[in-house]
Amino acid sequence: MATAKEVVAVKPSGMSSTMWKIAIPLILWAVLVVYPLIFGVPTGLQIHAWWYFAAFVAVIVGLILEPIPAAAIGLIGVAFIATMRYVNANIGTSVNWALAGFADTTVWLIFGAFVFSMGYNKTGLGRRVALLLVRTLGGRTLGLGYAIALADLVLSPGTPSNTARSGGTVFPVIRNIPALYGSEPNSPTARKIGSYIMWTALAATCVTSSMFITSLAPTAAALAIVKTTTKLDVNWLQYAMGFLPVGIVLFLLVPIITYFIYPPEVKTSKEIPTWAAQELDKMGKITTKEIIMIGLVVLAIFLWITGSNAMVSLPYFGSNFINATTVVLLGIALMLVTGIVTWDEILANKGAWNVLVWFATLVTLANGLNTVGFVKWFADLASAPLKGLDPIMVMVLLVALFFFIHYFFASLSAHTSAVLPLVLGVGMKLLPAAMIAPFALLCVYALGLMGIISPYATGPSPVYYGSGYISRIDFWKLGLIFGLIFLAGLLIIGVPYLLNVKL
């Protein structure tokens, strides 16, 4: 136990660290604000646009360092910009801009999907699905890898947080498996089986995170930015179909590539199905609430697929009879009516409300960057060296840049709001109109996949990195290898597919 003296000695250090995290964004903001006063405003920009950019940079750096919660940083940034009226000099228009993100349907789509994930956890359905797959496929280690990946895939359409899905549902199940074979963390025995299943789980969730709008939280914000920047409006089914060929190939390859690149010493795992069966026995028979939850998930997916497409036409409603966000709101209402969740539990879900504020402010900030003309100015500047190159090469280079620049980010959301508007702006400047939609989708699909490259690249990464089964060197090495594999799959399969198919 630490003594009082030791506690006092530690506290100033922690405060100092926080103060530096606050000071760095403010110093950068001050430098950028003063710059045009000394050297003049960059050609092609008005001073209010540059000052908006200064505030935007401070917010993004704040999101990276996170001295206070990310949602609070976004709210502070929006409030400051609205007060200074950088986007519009009119007071009423300025506040309308500040609140616009809260009216964005994709923001509420993600909020609702977080409530759906509460249903998975509260009813125990998520754990039951994972254990059933492990019991069925866990007889061989490779089969176990596919069971882990399938568990993540089944949960992904209704769980927008891959941290909750993989780190909160899948990891608690699979962490019990290595000990059955004497595979212990932070020891030479880690490679027996623990290292394989942990890396497979992380790589699989990175792939499933790109499969659906509702399988990764920043995806909705990214599509809102795409809609604002390119006027491209993508629904749930179009998004899923656009990634389908890439997703199937990468999903099937993850367990087997890991099996050969990072092989387990234990090839068969007869005890694991037995253990999973015992855990299922402890859970007992499937409950009424689990059955209701299954019904709600199936209904939601059905409506997501058919509700905003010409596949189905209903009297009075027509072919576009329900919006994807309306589906989520309906699902929440039915969860409340059936008692799957209570209103007090929704109110107590800080993560869901935090995400609502966070993404609403990020969408607003990214939209403002475009509104003040900064995106166009940057696109003109950055596109110059790429002029004259083949459009396909330009698209590939921009997607690769967007992918690997994530080494500098510890948050997919910060990456989305900081980099996506700029990359889209460059693409719109250089690419023909027919290639804008495929290019924008490739960038958004890259968000889930890039989570594999580092121990901090996505929410579940620190969970698996901290499990003790994957060494630091192995994590960085595997991250680069799988990052290259994922990017290659996205470009080699995704580029020709998206350029030649009408979604």
What residues have CB less than 8 Å from 164, skipping those under 6 apart? 114, 117, 121, 351
CA atoms within 13 A on the CB side of 108: 16
In which band, very low, low, confident or very high, does the pLDDT at 6 lie, cut at 50, 70 and 90?
very low
Residues 208 and 307 in one domain: yes
Q: Judge if 288 and 198 occupy the same domain.
A: yes
pLDDT tens-place string over residues 409-432:
767 877 888 889 889 999 998 999
Paired tokens of 68: 């206070």
Residues 136 and 82 in one domain: no
Q: Are residues 63 and 205 in the same domain?
A: no
Distance, in Å, from the CA atom of 131 to the CA atom of 483, rounded to the nearest integer, reads: 29
d(CA 301, CA 284): 27
Q: Which range of residues forms the domain containing residue 145? A: 107-348
What is the DSSP secondary structure assignment for residue 432, as one 8-state letter? -
The DSSP secondary-structure symbol of 167 reads I
User: 95 to each of 107, 183, 364, how far by Cα in Å?
Assistant: 19, 57, 11
Shared domain for 38 and 128, answered yes or no, is no
What's the pLDDT score for residue 150? 92
Tell me, yes or no, whether 98 and 158 share the same domain. no
> What does the pLDDT look like over 10-26, one tens digit per residue?
344 445 778 888 999 99
Domain membership of residue 484 (yes or no) is no
**pTM of the predicted structure, to 2 decimals:** 0.72
Instruction: Report the first-to-last Cα separation within the chain, whole angstroms.
Output: 61
- Out of 316, 348, 380, pick the residue that ends a domain: 348
Using 50, 70 and 90 to split pLDDT, how confident is the model at 31? very high
The Cα angle at residue 140 between residues 138 and 146, in degrees rounded to 5? 60
Torsion, CA 111, CA 115, CA 121, CA 123, rounded to 10: -160
Provide the pLDDT for residue 373. Answer: 83
Mean pLDDT within 166-181:
80
Task: For residues 197 and 145, give the distance between their C-alpha atoms in angstroms, rounded to a whole number.
Answer: 6
Judgement on whether residues 192 and 303 belong to the same structural domain of the protein: yes
Specify whether 167 is located in the same domain as 62. no
What is the C-alpha to C-alpha distance for residues 259 and 146, in angstroms, rounded to an integer? Answer: 11
Whether residues 172 and 94 fall in one domain: no
